[in-house]
Structure 1
Amino acid sequence: MAPLNSYDEWSRLREVVVGSAENYTSHERELSFDLFHHDNLVRSEWYYPRLTAPGSDDRPAGDGAGGAGGAVGAGGAVGRTGQSPIKQRYVDELTEDIEGIAATLRSLGVKVLRPLPLDKATVEVRTPAWSAAVVPPLNLRDNTLVLGDEIVETPPMIRSRYFETQLLTPVFAEYFASGARWTVMPRPLMTDASFDPSYADSSAGGPTEPVRNPRSSPYDVGFEMMFDGAQCLRLGRDVVVNVSTANHALAVDWLERHFEGRFRFHRVHRLSDSHIDSMVLALRPGTLLVRNEQVAELLPEPLRTWDLIVPPVPEVNNFPQYEDDDLILTSKYIDLNVLSVDEETVLVNAACPELIRTLERARFTVVPVVHRHRRLFGGGFHCFTLDTVRDGGPEDYLG
């Protein structure tokens, strides 16, 4: 393995970690999950009621400090209230598509690393304050932020993912042995009182049941830092960060103090609910891929002069049709979540001919890759990968 070095989103990619969907069985509908996915649960083709546990005084399942009910058996979702099972055929097809992503990257000369797979017997996350069903290390971009020669494990936003980065320990340890810095941000207690619900409360519409029903806990400490690496757009020595809640703001306070003198952080406010990488991506210095031109108006002033690539609105027939009990977790713009291999080469979902043609007209080499169920699993190529070695350095692109 080469020494850890990743400052931007576009310079030549040398090493990358690709996620795993092994033993993905369900989503758990509880407070942290619904707050995190609020925008897309609201704006999907259907409205999703919260799941209420029988005999739980009509409160949504999973909001209590002790979790939602009995532990999950080794077979998966059965035995725990508040879960939305995922059909096995979707998981099988997702696994096939992920292997295709990894094979494509290898064919382009990129070294591909993988996390430990989630063991089938590991079905629950439990802390002193709560318990939740566990999910595999699929969307690796979320709980880790790589800035230059430093790995930062970020404080999770969804309870099910609390210990997810432990499945990346062998990868991180090897980079550490090669000289990388390795930091873990403070871990939140994540009681109901830890979450700032202001974004969900102020956004249009809402699920058919209340998104929050907070319960007190002996571990309540008020708002805590919670933050995903996918809220960051890395531009050499500058990092653009989406901040939508007090949880995000606390985390950026920490990042600014920790990286003082090494990186400059630029806050944009409520560009999205959390992640930035289906709103704006930097494909090379001077060029942004954006959802619409209005996105640029919210970015730091130096970025407003960059060239904008605005693809057509995605077609409905670009996506599989799902059944009423299949939980949709992303907007139809998820395929803007592309991955750059270098300043000229971009991995794009093969199901998006409009996006492919738009990028080709901008003189990019597009590598189409199959990814069918991105709306069910909440991620595209950028989400599923963690770039650990790129050629770029701490250049000043913003002046």
Structure 2
Amino acid sequence: MRLNSFDEWSPLKEIVVGSAVNYTSHERELSFDLFFHDNITRSEWYYPRLSAGGSPDGADRGAAADRSPIKQRYVDELIEDVEGIVATLESLSVKVHRPMDVDASTTEVRTPAWSAAVVPPLNIRDNTLVLGDEIIETPPMIRSRYFETQFLTPVFAEYFRQGARWTVMPRPLMTDASFDLSYARTSNVGGPTEPIEDPQASVYDVGFEMMFDAAQCLRLGQDVIVNISTANHAMACDWLERHLEGRFRIHRVHRLSDSHIDSMVLALRPGTLLVRNKEVLDFLPEALRSWDLIVAPPPGKNNFPQYEDDDLVLTSPFIDLNVLSVDPSTVLVNSACPELVRTLEQNRFTVVPVRHRHRRLFGGGFHCFTLDTVRDGGPEDYLGLG
């Protein structure tokens, strides 16, 4: 089928589900720390302190960074759960595409400015924005994920052959000087946090660059809500506005979260939002404030596995708000979150429970792991802006 996806809820026909094969480690370096900053708190200390490394010209940037191995049993269970997502979607008559797996011999990403451990194409929502008949590869925010969309090339190429547009936003050099550190230095979400300090100079420095994830966007037919927390995000949003002019309306929200908004707010159907709390509404455009709100219940303390001190936990406990809509009345929800299941059922949704154990270790839920490419919906004006 031809690429067609304008919103988050229309009847789902085709989707890409990510791969966790050969996921071996997380790498602590500047871009990683910035991306997960809101979840690095002194009261819930999941990480060792960041130690600066690398030569002044940046040539060996990443060589001294810390790679934190991921226990194989977690990866094995993650792969089982991802395959369970695939089987569930196929049972609902959704065609599932898969990216290429990372080969075991591919362990590193390298550019002229830095090197980093490679990350498999698991949270594929992050680096690709599908708007109508266009695939837009967004400029990455974590160095380890710099070439991640390459693993989706066979899928994208097939949609291109069927008539889809295929665009790649400008790729950043991603030296330390590329990053706007202001959010990390001023935000106190979740309590006091470890400061991000001592960025290293590089001969490739060009100042702030556009860096931005597709998961900062909420798609609503003709309208796209975009979360902006740094100068990097703002530059990328400028690009989107110019590129999409005449086709989509961009609405900026500021610092709703550090980056992604799909564990803060999701649109489940026209007129209904799932939100982490009522305060989310204060950040949204006026036209969305009249929509019905379903406030996610606090997660239970027994909803998550217990981890060891050396296991890096990457997300807040609200990661299970990251659900996937199959149609306006059917939602995939983590079976480990019974409070959310009950809440959605009370709001007349059909809930399909699916197992996902280690979402906090791998930084994503069902919405993150998937990229919907074909839905029945079109460029509707759901905000009534004419």
Where 2:368 maps in the other structure, the secondary structure is coil
Aligned to 2:138, which of 137, 150, 154? 154
Unaligned runs of 5+ in 2: none
1:67 and 1:10 map into 2 onto residues whose CA distance is: 45
Query: Residue by residue, what CA displacement relative to the aligned partner does 1:286-320 show, whole Å, maximum 9, x if unpaired?
Result: 00000001101110001000000012111111000
SS of residue paired to 2:252? strand
- Select 1:363's aligned residue among 330, 348, 352: 348
Q: What letter matches 1:172 in structure 2?
A: F
Q: Once the 2 structures are TM-superposed, how far is the Cα of residue 60 of structure 1 from its aligned partner?
A: 5.0
* Map of 1:106 onto structure 2: 90
Deviations 1:240-261 (A, max 9, x none): 0000000000000000000100
> Which of residues 97, 102, 115 is equivalent to 2:99?
115
The CA deviation string for residues 335-362 of structure 1, in whole angstroms up to 9 with x for no partner, is 0000000000000000011000000000
1:21/1:95 contact within 8 Å kept: yes
Alignment of 1:185-224 (within 5 A): 185-204=169-188, 205-208=191-194, 210-224=195-209
1:326 aligns with 2:311: yes
Q: Deviations 1:173-217 (Å, cap 9, x if unpaired)?
A: 000000000000000000000000111101115544x42321111
Q: How many residues align?
A: 382
- In structure 2, C-alpha distance between the alignment counterparts of 1:67 and 1:48, rounded to whole Å: 23
Match of 1:236 in 2: 221
1:348 counterpart residue number: 333
Match of 1:55 in 2: none
Helix, strand or coil at the partner of 1:214: coil
Query: How high is the sequence identity, in percent, across the aligned residues?
Result: 78
2:66 match: 82
Q: Contact 2:59 / 2:202 at 8 angstroms: preserved in 1?
A: no
Letter in 2 for 1:217: S
Cα separation, 2, equivalents of 1:160 and 1:69: 10
Q: State whether residues 63 and 214 of structure 1, in contact with CA within 8 Å, keep that contact through their aligned partners in structure 2.
A: no
In the other structure, the counterpart of 1:74 is none
SS in 2 for 1:24: coil
Find the residue that maps to 1:316 and give its secondary structure: coil
Q: Distance in 1 between matches of 2:327 and 2:102?
A: 31
Aligned partner of 1:225 in structure 2 is 210
Structure 2 counterpart of 1:396: 381
- The one of 52, 58, 62 equivalent to 1:65 is 58
- Gaps (5+ residues) in structure 1? 53-58, 71-79
Whole-Å Cα distance in 1 between the matches of residues 91 and 236 of structure 2?
37
Change (3 A) 1:250 1:329: same
Q: Deviations over 1:134-162 (max 9, x none)?
A: 01000000000000000000000000000
* TM-score of the aligned structures, taking structure 1 as reference length: 0.93
* Equivalent position amino acid for 2:171 in 1: R
Give the alignment's Cα RMSD to 1 decimal.
Answer: 1.5
Deviation at 1:65, TM superposition (A): 1.9
Tell me the secondary structure at the aligned position of residue 83 of structure 2.
Answer: helix
Q: In 2, Cα distance between the equivalents of 1:193 and 1:26?
A: 25
Cα distance in 2, alignment partners of residues 223 and 194 from structure 1: 4
Give the partner amino acid of 2:376: D
Alignment pair present for 1:281 and 2:280? no
Q: 1:93 to 1:63 in 2, by over 3 A?
A: farther
